[in-house]
Amino acid sequence: MKNKLLRGTGVALVTPFQSNKTIDKQSLIQLVNYVIEGGVEYLVVLGTTAETTTLTKEEKKLVKSTITQTNNGRLPMVLGIGGNNTQAIIDEIAQTDLTLYSAILSVSPYYNKPSQEGIYQHFKAIAQSTSHDILLYNVPGRTGSNITAETTLRLAYDCPNIIGIKEASGNIVQIMQIIQRKPQNFLVISGDDCTALPTVLMGGDGVISVIGQGLPYDFSQMIREGLHHNIDKALVFQYKLLNGFDLIFKEGNPVGIKSLLKLKNITSNFVRLPLVEASSELENLLKEYMIQQKL
């Protein structure tokens, strides 16, 4: 099953910038090679962590082509296409060459705050407009509304090309309800680094991670141990990484992960407004954490 390609650790890649806030293509190439060599299972292109809302159409093309060429078919890729205008998403999907992507990652509509029926009809319309596989993305902290377990399951059973969900509600009970009642091959993927291992141990399929691109070996190994039910080994990594989960989100995403990547000499820490670069306090905390954990 193609779904199985998206088990394990996917990483939501940042968009590196130069000091003048233009895209740093060489750093993006370096990042893609770094995470592949670090052992992650797939790449997520133009997700929230990529600061996609601040990129022009031409910049999005540059990001996609750079990642695709660097990856060179080594790992599966997922492409973010989402928003709060249903028809605009349908049009964008129709106009996008999806040949090289295993699935589309589509976030629940933000700002509009639709009802559960509205969320259901939004994703159903998208699913019916394409034969391509779709991952739902539930992130109430950003969208202002939650996709309930009931709505997720309704979509899972009614729309064959909705193959899974990136669940970033942080609600463990809701995640368990989906796992308990989902179709057999429907993927339940954690959207939070801190709930990734618990999700896997409850029967989930992995994670789309932020910190995984900064610490790819340790994080992806943790998830693999969890998927193989090696709980003691997985927990060693969980507690090694735990403080890092909090630190990289302390001043927002991707502010923290870009600071960590700067400390690893992979990319700069530059972000675009309305985000601002990590404070010296956060950078020092990350530096101390990485020294303490020998990362």
42 is catalytic: no
Spot the catalytic one: 42, 137, 262, 289: 137
Instruction: Say how far apart CA 261 and CA 70 lie, in whole Å.
Output: 18
Instruction: Say how far apart CA 268 and CA 19 lie, in whole Å.
Output: 8
The per-residue DSSP string of 203-222 comes to T--EEEESGGGTSHHHHHHH
Beta strands 77-80 and 134-138: pairing type?
Answer: unpaired
CB neighbours of 239 closer than 8 A, spacing ≥ 6? none
Spot the catalytic one: 64, 166, 182, 262: 166
Structure tokens at 207: 């994670």
**Does residue 138 sit in helix, strand or coil?**
strand
166 is catalytic: yes
Counts of helices then strands in the chain (DSSP H, E): 12, 8
The answer to the question of whether 208 is labelled as a binding residue is yes
Place of tokens 């990483």: 11
Q: Which residues are catalytic?
A: 137, 166
User: Known binding site: residues?
Assistant: 49, 208
Known binding-site positions for pyruvate? 49, 208
